[in-house]
């Protein structure tokens, strides 16, 4: 289990976040969001949706380790809050696109076609909302948002360690549950989110931190597999809640569930091959961060 926060801080000196590189990265993350939003407005295709969401995740990771006075009631916090709203609506659009792609491969029938029409209508409405938020973000002068940030390396490290401990604790508690029960959907979702957040948090460490680089690669693989499993889960949930019950829809659900089972088997094989029996066990690696 976890060490106390005092022990974590004592053992994380080698991970110390230098102030200037951090502020440089924060500024870069702001510019990246701004640039991705501009490209999104020109053509909000799947790639631009993905790139905008990724940029916002990186900005949020750097934003979250700032002291509370910058995370509440500041120009930066207002901007990040709007970014999160933009992120949320685009996540919904991305989910709709995933569902559309999945069910489009099945033979046409009235029930399936009705679901597709609903997806298109909802997506169009969400996209208009997302464009409105993007327009507001575009009008913000991000170059002035962090001009007056006054923070110490000690404050950054303290906040970094706190979030690091929280994410590792979540992974430690959910990982064993998922390995023994593939239908623990909530825990699977929590594990996926924790892996994703930890990955972006570790990007804030210096490039010479080889341990963090290795763990980020593992987190990326886990994130990809768990994300695919999650896609099957919300697709079947959507069909159950939004589609009229029919034999054709149930066949789609059954097929998606079978593909989900195969993807979960891939997850188990990866864990056994790369994480469980290896001396560099995943849980051992992430504990070594503190």
Clarify whether residues 165 and 253 are in a common domain: yes
Query: Taking residues 168-181, what's their average pLDDT?
Result: 88
Q: What is the DSSP string of 151-166?
A: --HHHHHHHHHHHHHH
How much is the pTM? 0.87
User: How confident is the model at residue 10, as a pLDDT?
Assistant: 39
> Is 50 exceeded by the pLDDT of residue 119?
yes
156 shares a domain with 28? no
pLDDT at 141 exceeding the cut of 90: no
Mean pLDDT of 181-197: 92
**Structural domains in the chain (count):** 2
- Residue 138: which CATH number? 1.40.20.10
Which residue segment(s) compose the domain that 281 sits in? 152-290
In this prediction, residue 276 carries a pLDDT of: 54
The stretch 193-201 carries a mean pLDDT of 94
Same domain membership, residue 145 and residue 169: no
> Per-residue pLDDT averaged across 103-131, rounded?
95
- Report if residue 235 sits inside a domain: yes
Say what the pLDDT of residue 284 is. Answer: 63
DSSP conformation class of 181? -
The vertex-52 CA angle with 122 and 147, nearest 5°, equals: 130
Please determine, for residue 73, whether its predicted confidence score (pLDDT) is greater than 90: no
Q: How confident is the model at residue 101 (pLDDT cuts 50, 70, 90)?
A: very high
Collapsing DSSP to helix, strand or coil, 233 comes out as: helix
């Amino acid at each position: 289990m976890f060490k106390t926060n005092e022990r974590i801080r004592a053992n994380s000196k080698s991970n110390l976040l230098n102030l200037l590189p951090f502020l440089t990265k924060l500024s870069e993350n702001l510019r990246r969001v701004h640039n991705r939003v501009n490209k999104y407005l020109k053509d909000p295709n799947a790639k631009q949706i993905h790139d905008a969401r990724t940029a916002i995740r990186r900005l949020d990771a750097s934003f979250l380790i700032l002291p509370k006075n910058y995370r509440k009631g500041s120009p930066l916090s207002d901007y990040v809050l709007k970014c999160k709203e933009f992120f949320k609506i685009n996540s919904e659009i991305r989910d709709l696109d995933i569902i559309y792609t999945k069910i489009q491969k099945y033979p046409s029938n009235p029930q399936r076609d009705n679901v597709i029409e609903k997806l298109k209508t909802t997506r169009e409405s969400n996209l208009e909302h997302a464009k409105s938020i993007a327009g507001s973000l575009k009008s913000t002068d991000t170059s002035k948002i962090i001009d007056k940030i006054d923070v110490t390396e000690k404050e950054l490290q303290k906040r970094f360690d706190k979030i690091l401990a929280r994410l590792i604790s979540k992974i430690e508690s959910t990982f064993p549950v998922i390995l023994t029960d593939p239908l623990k959907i909530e825990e699977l979702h929590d594990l996926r989110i924790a892996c994703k957040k930890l990955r972006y948090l570790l990007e804030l460490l210096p490039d010479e931190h080889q341990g963090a680089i290795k763990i980020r690669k593992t987190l990326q693989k886990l994130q990809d597999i768990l994300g695919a499993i999650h896609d099957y889960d919300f697709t079947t949930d959507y069909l159950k809640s939004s589609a009229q019950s029919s034999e054709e829809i149930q066949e789609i659900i059954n097929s998606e569930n079978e593909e989900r089972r195969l993807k979960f088997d891939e997850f188990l094989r990866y864990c056994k091959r790369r994480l469980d029996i290896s001396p560099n066990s995943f849980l051992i690696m992430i504990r070594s961060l503190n």
